[in-house]
Amino acid sequence: MAVPISYSIRNLTARKTSTLMTALGIGLTVAVLLSIMAMVEGLRTSLEASGHPLHLLVVRKGATAELNSIVSPTTFHELRTKPGIARGEDGQPLASLELVTVIVLENPGNPQGINITLRGLAPVGFAMRGIRLAEGRMFEPGRREVVVGRGLVNRYPAARPGGVMRFGRGEWRVVGVMDAGNSAANSEIFADLYQLASDQNRPDAMSSVLLRAIDAAAARALVNDIQTDARFNNDVIPEQQYYAMQTSSATPVRSVGMLVALIMAVGSSFAAMNTMYAAVARRAAEIGTLRVLGFSRASILFSFFLESLFLCLLGGALGCLMVLPLNNLQTGIGSFVTFSEIVFEFRVTPAIMATGVVFSLIIGVFGGLFPAWSASRKEILQALRQV
């Protein structure tokens, strides 16, 4: 004969204080895990949204990022004549010569400043990325003007429209804000290529070339053509693959977060175990009565085990509620590839919340199995003597 499920639920509600305190501890453990997962998911989503499937990034052979790459304007003019490159409405090849460097911007939380990616490019590079201006206007070629990514506006006072940035040989005015969706361009600043090259004293040392192929077959042919051409000393990386490599930035944070969550999970398991052992000791007479009424050891074991699962399930639900306010919260993380900050938003997805619930149930399994076993092994007479 099975013990009714309502019996397990009623016992949890009968001791509200210990139930809520244990559930809260489990909820905090789940919240730590989910916050780390939401951060990693947000970064992954941001980087996966970056790049076009037909875009190819040409960098110096052996370069790990645009920042440590050098491509000459001469190489660019030779590359843009390659067959297989798509053309724009004006009939010109969709090829963008770009200069990438890093500047430091201060924010209220870090007076020493944070590295931000500054990209010099021509209008064709802006058009290839399909970015729209959310505010203001585009920078004018030959002038010290910049447009900033939407993710930088609220974090850095100098990045607000009308603000002034000081780098290179002078001051640069913010004339527009660009909305690049979820992509990494929201963490960048765009300026006129040749004005930036002049300010940085790099007229013949650009960083990369962005090409758009006609189709997937043309993209593969272009990669092979450029990398086997003896005139060039360049690597060709699909743009989406380049950004995917930057997810390594979250690895240390994820590893530390998972370790903390694991340590907290062990503590939560002991807390649940302690709560259930206390319940077993307090309800010894009940256990004896259940045995007298004909309930088997297995049904009593299952009842107490189920009670532990319900307790931890409540904790899991609390953890999910705690982490929900993080959804779409903007933050930034330093990239080991670009040596600058990537701005992104936390993503608390249904899959992440389901993981939190499963995680809480695992805590319940380890926290409830031994107390439930202890309850089921009590002898009838020994239990009834404790009335």
pLDDT given at position 381: 47
pLDDT given at position 192: 96
pLDDT given at position 5: 64
pLDDT given at position 84: 93
How many angstroms separate the CA atoms of 144 and 126, rounded? Answer: 17
DSSP states of 239-296: HHHHHHGGGGGGHHHHHHHHHHHHHHHHHHHHHHHHHHHHHHHHTHHHHHHHHHTT--
How many angstroms separate the CA atoms of 295 and 297, rounded? Answer: 7
What is the identity of the amino acid at 351? A
What is the identity of the amino acid at 44? R
Whole-prediction pTM: 0.77
Count of alpha carbons within 13 Å of 73, Cβ hemisphere only?
Answer: 8
Tens of pLDDT along the chain (387 residues) come to: 556 566 566 666 777 777 788 888 888 888 888 988 888 888 888 877 788 899 999 999 988 889 899 999 999 999 999 999 999 988 999 999 999 999 999 887 777 788 899 999 999 999 999 889 999 999 999 899 999 999 899 889 889 999 999 988 889 999 999 998 888 888 899 999 999 999 999 989 999 999 999 999 999 999 999 988 888 889 999 998 888 777 766 667 667 777 777 787 777 777 777 776 666 655 555 655 655 565 666 676 677 777 778 888 888 999 999 999 999 888 877 776 677 788 888 899 999 999 989 988 888 887 777 666 665 565 554 544 544
Region label for 144, one of left (φ > 0), alpha (ψ between -120 and 50) or beta (otherwise): beta
Beta strand 188-192 with 110-121: parallel, antiparallel or unpaired?
Answer: parallel
How many angstroms separate the CA atoms of 263 and 271, rounded? Answer: 13
What is the identity of the amino acid at 125? G
How many angstroms separate the CA atoms of 118 and 52, rounded? Answer: 20
What is the identity of the amino acid at 36? I
Give burial (CB, 10 Å; 0-12/13-18/19+) of 127.
middle
Count of alpha carbons within 13 Å of 181, Cβ hemisphere only?
Answer: 12
pLDDT given at position 321: 94
Question: Which tokens hold the place of 134?
Answer: 């959310």
pLDDT given at position 94: 96
Residues with Cβ within 8 Å of 222's Cβ and at least 6 positions away in sequence, in order, are 56, 82, 84, 85, 211, 213, 236
Residue listed under structure tokens 């380049």: 242
The H-assigned helical ranges of the chain are 5-14, 16-48, 73-79, 123-128, 150-153, 193-199, 216-228, 239-244, 251-282, 284-292, 297-323, 350-376, 380-384
Question: Which tokens hold the place of 14?
Answer: 């009968």
